[in-house]
Amino acid sequence: MDDLPGQMQSVWSAVVGSTGGRGAAVMFVSARSGTGTSFCARAFAQLAAARAARSAWLVDLDLFANGQFSAMGGDGAGWPGPYDMTFGRSPFWRATPRAPDGSQGEGVIVGYRVGASKLFVSAFRREALMPGQTVQVTPSADYWRTLATAVDMTVVDAPALERSRAALALVADMDATVLVVDGKAGDPADALELRDEILARGGKVLGAVVVEPDRRGGRRQGTGVRPQRSPGGLFGLGRGRAA
Displacement of CA 155 from its chain's centroid (Å): 5
Contact 243, 37 (CB under 8 A): no
Contact 134, 3 (CB under 8 A): no
Q: Is the pLDDT confidence value at 189 over 60? A: yes
Residue environment code for 125-151, b if the CB has 16+ CB neighbours within 10 A, otherwise e: eeebbeeebebebbbbeebbebbbeeb
* CATH, range 4-240: 3.40.50.300
pLDDT class of 107 with cuts at 50, 70, 90:
very high
Contact 50, 116 (CB under 8 A): no
210-224 pLDDT, tens digit each: 887 664 334 344 333
15-33 pLDDT, tens digit each: 999 998 889 999 999 999 9
Q: What is the DSSP string of 217-232?
A: TT---------EE-GG
Residue 210 makes CB contacts below 8 A (sequence gap 6+) with 181, 182, 183, 230, 236, 238, 239, 240
Domain boundaries, the chain: 4-240
Q: What is the DSSP string of 44-95?
A: HHHHHHHH-SS-EEEEES-GGGTHHHHHTTGGGG--S--EE-STTS--SEEE
Q: Is the pLDDT confidence value at 120 over 70? A: yes
DSSP 3-state of 85: coil
Higher pLDDT, 232 or 7: 7
Distance of alpha carbon 49 from alpha carbon 165, whole angstroms:
28
Distance of alpha carbon 10 from alpha carbon 13, whole angstroms:
5
67-82 pLDDT, tens digit each: 999 998 888 888 999 9
Distance of alpha carbon 120 from alpha carbon 45, whole angstroms:
9
Beta-strand pair 109-113/93-96: unpaired
How many CA atoms does the CB half-sphere of 145 hold within 13 Å?
7
Confidence (pTM): 0.88
Closest CA to 67 of 27, 25, 39: 39
165-187 pLDDT, tens digit each: 999 999 999 999 999 998 777 56
Residue 203 makes CB contacts below 8 A (sequence gap 6+) with 171, 172, 174, 177
Angle (CA) 62-68-74 rounded to 5° is: 120
